[in-house]
Amino acid sequence: DTEVTQTPKHLVMGMTNKKSLKCEQHMGHRAMYWYKQKAKKPPELMFVYSYEKLSINESVPSRFSPECPNSSLLNLHLHALQPEDSALYLCASSQPSTGRIAEAFFGQGTRLTVV
């Protein structure tokens, strides 16, 4: 099973709303990622969790707040977003490995629209 499940698939939120994106995997992977992808652009890394600890934060604005409650779950809390934050948000997971990265598998993404 190489499935990463993201919910919701689509989300429309106002600039004053608070919402959360959820990601779940049961492959035993201990590295999980959030990426943001705008149309016709490659995925941009936002956050990396390794063994449930935040290891990389790519200078993401504080209106995005990640959380890794356990080894299977990854959340992205959203607050006071701007219309330019509208994008496809992708979760991925992999098995961390010294010196190289094991294959990363992506969820289906959450299409976020900020109005």
> What is the binding site for other proteins (CB under 8 A)?
31, 33, 41-45, 48, 50, 55-56, 88, 90, 94, 96, 99-101, 103-109
**Residue 63 DSSP one-character state:** T
Please state the closest distance from residue 22 (CB atom) to other proteins, in A: 15
Which of 52, 59, 114 lies closest to 89, judged by CA? 114
Please state the closest distance from residue 93 (CB atom) to other proteins, in A: 10
- Closer Cβ to other proteins, 10 or 62, answer by number: 10
Please state the closest distance from residue 26 (CB atom) to other proteins, in A: 17
Handedness of CA 88, 75, 105, 45 (dihedral sign): positive
